[in-house]
Structure 1
Amino acid sequence: MERRKLLGAAFVAATASLTDLQLTGSASAARRFNGRSTSALLEQIQKTHGGRRWRKAQVIEAHVAYGGPFWAFKGVADFVGTDHVVADVHRQRIRLTQPSGRVIAFDKYADVLTVTEPHGAVERLWHPRASFDGYTATSQWSVAQAGYFRAYATWLYLVEAYVFTYPGVRITEAEPWVESGETWRVLDVTFPPSIDTHCPTQRYYFDADASMVRIDYEAEVSGALPTAHYQPRHAVFDGALITTRHEIYARNADRTPDRSLVRISLDVKRASLH
């Protein structure tokens, strides 16, 4: 119990007084840039990330290693480990097989999360997003709720930035961001209800090569704490650029990350597109 209190303090203390900029907020944070320039950036993003290969693919398969104290804090310590992941490219559907043999499957079209335990027991959580109503940053989750969070988030992390081409996705360019001596271009991406995301509008950062290097969001299912999600490593698999290292931090009011704690980490290994 004492360990959980300490973890809770690490997660929420730094954000208790945050008055973070809303991603769709003031004119200074959402200035529209020249349409031609933004269109050129979007084209370069798809080219860099292998958009042509993504269009031809139906499925992405990978092994994803999940770490960080977040899982224990949420009451699902056995979620730390490496899952075998199979995800559809053109619809939000994903299956994750955990080391224990537990299988987690999410189908957004049906809006159901299914957990199949190794001994055969099956749990279905219909309309899983609604199950988080009233939850705060310190609320613990059931296995099905944790599975839903992992499923929709992993699907996004694998398919981004190809998901920008999905119907109903709206994109606005915001002010450039300077970090570590680099200038990154910034896109505010608003997703339609047909795609489950951390929050309706998420902010994406791209380096000079149009590689995705950071995402900002507030995960609604976990108290909407401001988050800075970094992507420091990438690799090309079957002609598609995929982020192979994800590091997720709390985000300060000035948009800088609190690097004192990596809340969640993901490492993507042996990915392939079919």
Structure 2
Amino acid sequence: MSDLLSQAVEAHGGAERWQALTEARATLVSGGDLFVIKGLPQDVTPRTMTVRLHEEHASVEPFGAPDQKTDFTPGRVGIRKLDGHVVTERDDPRASFAGHTLETPWDPLDRAYFNGYALWTYLTTPFLLAMPGFTVTDIEPWREGDEVWPGLRATFPSRFASHSTHQEFYFGPDGLLRRHDYHVDVAGGFAAAQYVYDYVEADGIKLPTKRRAYRRDTAGRPLVGQVMVSIDLSDVHFG
């Protein structure tokens, strides 16, 4: 494990505490222009997001109806009634995005897949980078105002679903994540810069409660005039 990753893991709560936990649950309010572009604008209804920490599995409820929830893993995504009845599902969901551009509409299963992998990634960062199969290297720091944020480039194993195979993570002087860069492969591969802030500590783990993702230009600068995805978390619990 790199020195920077070790520092980041410790700053966010430490490997020992993380290994003692199995699940995270949070109240989620999300929005942004990406969902409008995809024909699925998000309302401001709070939803409950649940993820398993050591395997890629996530669920959000309600979804599409008050008595429905999503059920996401990398190899399958579904929408279920709360009693477990399957409303609809899709195997190999990543394949459904082949040929998509930013403007290609999504169906509800596409949205459920995006929700699942994105929130799983966010709620397990930076600890997931120490999981078997991830390759992490130091990269040039990012300068933000008067601060210099050291960075890591992570290569995700193929068994994990996420935005893109290669992603960059930048950390502040306190070791906490400040910025997360990636390409949104399921939406035409546009380059994104996501800023995270308003940290809380929940059951020994520190995590940001606000995330704002923007498109970025070729110099890495965020195009702040358009929020592509906004995420606000509250009532976070690990257990």
Normalising by structure 2, what TM-score?
0.93
Unpaired segments ≥5 residues, structure 2: none
Q: Could you say if the C-alpha distance between residues 121 and 41 of structure 1 is closer, same or farther in structure 2, counting changes exceeding 3 Å?
A: closer
Kindly indicate whether the alpha-carbon contact (under 8 Å) linking 2:60 and 2:69 is maintained by their aligned counterparts in 1.
Answer: yes
User: 73-82 or 38-47, which moves further after superposition?
Assistant: 73-82
Unpaired segments ≥5 residues, structure 1: 1-37
Which residue in 1 is equivalent to 2:6? 43
Which residue in 2 is equivalent to 1:130? 95
Structure 2 residue aligned with 1:187, among 147, 152, 157?
Answer: 152
Please report the RMSD computed on the Cα atoms of aligned residues, expressed in angstroms. 1.7
Structure 2 residue aligned with 1:92, among 56, 59, 63?
Answer: 56
| Counterpart residue type for residue 258 of structure 1 | L
**Post-superposition offset of 1:78:** 4.4
Give SS of 2:24's match: strand
What CA deviation, in whole Å up to 9, does each residue of 1:67-98 have, x standing for no partner? 22321221112465322011100000011102
Q: Could you say if the C-alpha distance between residues 258 and 125 of structure 1 is closer, same or farther in structure 2, counting changes exceeding 3 Å?
A: same
Give SS of 1:260's match: coil
Distance 1:41 1:171 in 2: 10
| Percent of aligned positions that are identical | 29
Structure 1 stretches of at least 4 aligned residues deviating more than 6 Å after TM superposition: none
Distance 1:272 1:128 in 2: 29
Structure 2 residue aligned with 1:222, among 163, 167, 187?
Answer: 187
Give SS of 2:218's match: coil
Q: Paired residues, what number? A: 235
| Counterpart residue type for residue 70 of structure 2 | I
Kindly indicate whether the alpha-carbon contact (under 8 Å) linking 1:205 and 1:215 is maintained by their aligned counterparts in 2.
Answer: yes
Give SS of 2:2's match: helix
Q: As a proportion of its length, which structure holds more strand?
A: 2
Q: Could you say if the C-alpha distance between residues 78 and 175 of structure 1 is closer, same or farther in structure 2, counting changes exceeding 3 Å?
A: closer
Distance 1:80 1:161 in 2: 28
Q: Could you say if the C-alpha distance between residues 138 and 91 of structure 1 is closer, same or farther in structure 2, counting changes exceeding 3 Å?
A: same
Kindly indicate whether the alpha-carbon contact (under 8 Å) linking 1:71 and 1:80 is maintained by their aligned counterparts in 2.
Answer: no
**Post-superposition offset of 1:174:** 0.6
Kindly indicate whether the alpha-carbon contact (under 8 Å) linking 1:229 and 1:249 is maintained by their aligned counterparts in 2.
Answer: yes
Structure 1 residue aligned with 2:218, among 239, 253, 257?
Answer: 253
Distance 1:223 1:82 in 2: 28
Normalising by structure 1, what TM-score?
0.82
